[in-house]
Amino acid sequence: MDSAQCSLFLITPQDTLSPVFPYIDMLRSVFKQVGVIQDDDLSLRRKYPNSTLFFLDLDLFDDDQASISSSGSTCTFTMDNRLTWAKRITQSLAHHPVIVCSSETNSSFMLDCLHAGAADYLLKPLYLPVIQTLFLKLHRRQETESAPAGPTPSSNQTTPLDLSTSSPANELHLDDDYVFLQHDDVHHRVKNFVSKDNQLTKAMMDIYAPPLPFPAKYIPLSSRQADELKQKLDSWDFSPFDYHQDELIHCVYLMFEMAMASPDLAHIIWSQDQWYDFIIDLANAYHDDNPYHNFAHAVDVMQCMYYLLCQLNCFPHKQKNKKRTAARLTGKQVFSILLSAIGHDAGHPGVNNMFLINSRTPLAVMYNDRSVLESLHSMTLFQLIKKHRLDQNWTPDDYQQFRQTIISSILATDMALNNDYVSKFRHATAATDDPMLLCSALIKCADISNVTRPFARGRQWALLLVEEFASQGDLEKELGMPVQPTNDRTKIVLEDFQISFIRFVALDLFNAVVTWLPELGFTVEQMKQNLQQWEFEKQQRTCQSLPTTTFANTTAGTKRRLSYCLEASTPPSLINGFPTSTTPAPTFSNCHFPDDSASKKSRFSPASSPTPTLSTASTASSTSSCVLQ
Ligand SMILES: [Zn+2]
């Protein structure tokens, strides 16, 4: 396209007599055809060839010609009237560029013209070289209109927006802005929002859950291995640390397979490949270098959820021979809550909400400081659900319920809201029929279920959680932020941390839930035993003047060795529960450093993650007598 193929029409206000266009010869020297039309319905509604530009001379309303007749009455055009006129013309000719020109040098006025929909503003006097470039506006308009729905062709889809800065590259391009305004068409505007929202969510995914250079891959599973894994999944002593990542991916698949066997979901058909692709993508959305909030934690929470659901008889098709009690959740709800469990921390950056809020991250601003991480996790999960078409095959109502269950469950894991939830659970009774509340209760319990697992399992998790907190504390110090009390590695004492958490948080939650759901009473029993064990260890340490378990920031190699030491110090009798009264309390005097090659199976195990270490700098004072509580 060039100017010689384009037409240009000058528009005159209604009833204007003999308008003068001193530049018309110059226009004719550039364009194939130059015409003059009246601003009236007949002219504006006519269909013009695509290669037509329109030209609006706003000086036709200068002071000398201020009074003109409009619709039979006389009115005076002011600066605002000129803008109103320009806007009306650009709206009427929405599919063509409208160029305005004027002698007005006020820059605000020039911008207002663009915002009113003008494709360009030319300051008089006009010059030939400028006129020769006007056809480019037409070219841009045609490109925009022929672009498919979705991101604009000019956007670089492989480069995420840098949300940490407000560089000009991230701002709405002026051209896009006025093109969109010129259309001023609701559908066009909404499509624009949708396509740009997609870019925003993609940018967030790229930042918080970027694709891995070496993503997890599918490794086939024999039926014997599947049976073994199923058996383990039915055990409360399950630990993700016992498995490689590919085995964990199979575990997730097997639990979903169990949920999908519900007659409730018979109409939903997703292929095995589709499932595995989704699970692998989800595993990759977790950051394995987080000591605690990684894929192993997600699998642990999902297995806990699966186990609790079994206790509540939510898999009637699986438990045919057991005494039947009414299932409290439908098959669809069971599936939704399992999906919530495995996705509830997707994209977790390894720092908590308070850190994101205090450092005023764009993420916290976006979610208004409310359940920032939980909102991110839910968004991330739904991006993957959409990507793998797991949002297909639902009826609109079912999909809405599926989505609401997942969102409400994941948001319930925000510990800042814990007390509110606990008081709701306290008011629930056997007659309470509130699936959303039940899902909230189950996922909250599953999320902090480490303290209800056999002691040795819970201890491994406690060490990793404390290390993640301490690591955040290091970062807070480095950034000059106030260090949150639970994050100061020189002050954290493992036993105190666990005792306080069980006494003041976990017991309240589990007691409320178990009163409502007595089938889950075994969790409180185990937690009470674990509390006794932590208190026992604290007493032992005090009696023997052993070093307090604080968390020195040492080199990775030392950390790894000391993690073995911590593990090795735990007597085998503790592996499956509370020790007998004759079992000596674990001490750190029998530490030994096994060879590095003797690694645990899982890459998530404490052996391969940054782990807490013992510091001898701080010791507890000795006491003359020691009485177990
Ligand atoms: Zn979690």
In Å, how far are 17, 64, 209 from 83, measured between CA atoms?
21, 18, 47
Whether residue 467 sits in one domain with residue 442: no
Cα of 254 from ligand 1 centre, angstroms: 21
Q: What value, to the nearest 5°, has the Cα angle with vertex 42 and ends 36 and 46?
A: 80
Q: Is the peptide bond before 125 cis (omega within 30 degrees of 0)?
A: yes
Whether residue 132 sits in one domain with residue 95: yes
Q: How much is the pLDDT for 589?
A: 28
State the Cα–Cα distance between residues 221 and 279, nearest whole angstrom: 15
State the Cα–Cα distance between residues 342 and 484, nearest whole angstrom: 28
- Within its chain, how far is the Cα of 31 from the centroid? 52
3-state helix vs strand vs coil in the chain, percent to 5: 55, 5, 40
In a domain, 363, yes or no: no
Cα of 503 from ligand 1 centre, angstroms: 20
Domain's final residue, options 424, 447, 470: 447
State the Cα–Cα distance between residues 267 and 428, nearest whole angstrom: 33
Domain's final residue, options 387, 421, 447: 447
Whether residue 199 sits in one domain with residue 117: no
Burial 402-440 (b: 16+ CB within 10 A, else e): bbebbbbbbbbbbbebbeebbebbeebeeeeeebebbbb
Whether residue 226 sits in one domain with residue 161: no
| CATH code of 285's domain | 1.10.1300.10
**Residues 521, 604 contacting (CB under 8 angstroms):** no
**Residues 215, 245 contacting (CB under 8 angstroms):** no
Cα of 458 from ligand 1 centre, angstroms: 14
Whether residue 183 sits in one domain with residue 105: no
**Residues 307, 522 contacting (CB under 8 angstroms):** no
State the Cα–Cα distance between residues 40 and 89, nearest whole angstrom: 10
Cα of 462 from ligand 1 centre, angstroms: 13
Q: Which residues have beta carbons under 5 A from ligand 1 (an ion)? A: 345, 447
Q: How much is the pLDDT for 320?
A: 56
Whether residue 19 sits in one domain with residue 79: yes
In a domain, 352, yes or no: no
State the Cα–Cα distance between residues 46 and 43, nearest whole angstrom: 6
Cα of 466 from ligand 1 centre, angstroms: 14
Residue found under tokens 């204007």: 16
Q: What is the largest CA-CA distance in the chain?
A: 111
In a domain, 286, yes or no: yes
Pick out the residues of the known binding site for AMP.
293-297, 345, 447, 498
In a domain, 320, yes or no: yes
Q: How much is the pLDDT for 148?
A: 54
Q: How much is the pLDDT for 216?
A: 61
List average pLDDT for each run of 10 residues in the chain, which is 629 residues long: 88 79 90 87 81 90 48 48 88 90 89 90 92 89 64 37 36 38 61 73 79 67 90 96 93 95 87 90 93 97 97 78 64 96 96 93 94 97 92 92 97 97 94 93 98 97 95 92 88 93 97 96 97 94 66 41 33 34 31 32 40 35 30
Instruction: Look up the domain containing 463 and give its range.
Output: 449-629
Phi, psi angle pair for 74, to nearest 5°: -100, 135
Whether residue 339 sits in one domain with residue 230: yes
Domain's final residue, options 414, 431, 447: 447
The answer to whether 293 is a known catalytic residue is yes
Cα of 212 from ligand 1 centre, angstroms: 21
State the Cα–Cα distance between residues 606 and 603, nearest whole angstrom: 8
Number of domains present in the structure of the chain: 4
Whether residue 453 sits in one domain with residue 439: no
Whether residue 437 sits in one domain with residue 563: no
Whether residue 283 sits in one domain with residue 421: yes
Pick out the residues of the known binding site.
293-297, 344-345, 447, 498
State the Cα–Cα distance between residues 460 and 566, nearest whole angstrom: 9
Whether residue 430 sits in one domain with residue 299: yes
Q: How much is the pLDDT for 576?
A: 36
pLDDT, tens digit (0-9, with 9 covering 90-100), for 544-561: 766 555 555 543 433 332
Query: DSSP class of residue 233?
Result: H
In a domain, 357, yes or no: no
In a domain, 355, yes or no: no
CA-CA-CA-CA torsion sign (261, 265, 268, 270): negative
In a domain, 364, yes or no: no
Pick out the residues of the known binding site for Zn(2+).
297, 344-345, 447
Active-site residue identified among 293, 348, 377, 388: 293
- For every residue of 2-21, DSSP letters joined together read -GGG-EEEEEE-TT--S---
Whether residue 521 sits in one domain with residue 423: no
3-state secondary structure of 627: coil
**Residues 125, 136 contacting (CB under 8 angstroms):** no
In a domain, 213, yes or no: no
**Residues 447, 410 contacting (CB under 8 angstroms):** no
> Which residues make beta-bridge pairs with 159?
none
Q: Does the interface predicted TM-score (ipTM) exceed 0.85?
A: yes
| CATH code of 102's domain | 3.40.50.2300
